[in-house]
Structure 1
Amino acid sequence: MAHFPVNHPARPLYRAVAALVGLYILVFGVVGVVQTWGEPLFDRGSHWALGLRTNLAFSLVSVIFGIVLLIGASRRSNLGHYMNLTAGVVFMVTGMAMMTVLQTSANFLNFSMSTVIVSLVFGLLLLATGLYDKVGPDEHAEAEEAYRHRPVPEPGTR
């Protein structure tokens, strides 16, 4: 069973990191929509926004995803915890999937290698923030702390 820290003291820092990732994605999406407006949705042109290649479809998805991440970071419940874990996995899977089709016609989101790297880094950051921003009652936090600091039995003894 996984033991996520409950009410971690650095939780505000992790929420801020998730919010910064969400803000970057939102701004990237807005800039990308402005630059690619009027182009075909899945165009494979050479439009770049904030150092990443994009098209209208990828920009629109980024706007939505950025808003969702900012909503998750602003909540003081476990919604942000689950959203960050899920978003981290989505970014990692998307980055790996798009890396496999970079030089093919299946690159419908117009990714470049820099976009893949940023996607993987954001995935790792969101996974890390998701691991440490779980909220719970003080009793759960105390039980988790007691579990982490329990005595470890000597090898070969029960």
Structure 2
Amino acid sequence: MAHIPVNHPARPLYRVLSGLIGLYILVFGVYGVFQTWGDGLFSRENNTALGLRTNLAFSLVSVIFGAFLLIGASRRGNLGHYMDLTAGVVFLVTSILMMAVLQTSANFLNFSMSTVIVSMLFGLVLLATGLYDKVGTDEHAADERRRREHPVAEGHR
């Protein structure tokens, strides 16, 4: 069974990464809402915000997700851990699904290949931040370290 690190020393760095991604997504969403306000919700026009194609629906979802990630990054407990894991999976799944329908009328979020790539990168970074952002008691962290440094575990490295 794999063990997720508890109280990882680089946890503040991972929180900052998550917060920066959240801030970018929030700014992208707000700017996208202003860019696409007169268009239809699922418009397929060539509107861009911060270099990525968007429409009003995708911009509104980005505002919500950006705020969600900023809230998660600002929390000290495991809420941010679970929020980052969830957001990472959502970004990865969404990017794969939107890549599958990129050149069809089912591309309702108006993705381009660059949007797919950025979403995949954000998903991978958020998944990594979620894996290393777990908080626990000092006893739990010490027990986790003992398990990792156990002589039986040494032979499996």
TM range (shorter): over 0.9
Q: What is aligned with 1:103?
A: 103
- CA–CA distance in structure 1, aligned partners of residues 70 and 153 of structure 2: 44
Q: What is aligned with 2:8?
A: 8
Q: What is aligned with 1:118?
A: 118
Structure 1, unaligned stretches of length 5 or more? none
Matches within 5 A, 1:3-42: 3-42=3-42
Change (3 A) 1:84 1:154: closer
The answer to whether the 8 A contact 2:29-2:60 is kept is yes
Matches within 5 A, 1:5-154: 5-152=5-152
Local SS of the residue matching 2:48 = strand
- CA–CA distance in structure 2, aligned partners of residues 39 and 153 of structure 1: 58
- Which TM-score applies when normalising by structure 1? 0.96
The answer to whether the 8 A contact 2:147-2:153 is kept is no
Local SS of the residue matching 2:91 = helix
1:147 maps to a residue whose letter is R
Local SS of the residue matching 1:134 = coil
Change (3 A) 1:63 1:104: same
Figure out how many residues of one structure are paired with residues of the other and give that number: 155
Task: State the identity %.
Answer: 76
- Which TM-score applies when normalising by structure 2? 0.96
**1:152 to partner: Cα distance:** 2.0
- CA–CA distance in structure 2, aligned partners of residues 32 and 39 of structure 1: 11
Structure 1 runs of 4+ aligned residues shifted over 6 Å read none
Local SS of the residue matching 1:136 = coil
- Compute the RMSD of aligned alpha carbons: 1.2
Structure 2, unaligned stretches of length 5 or more? none
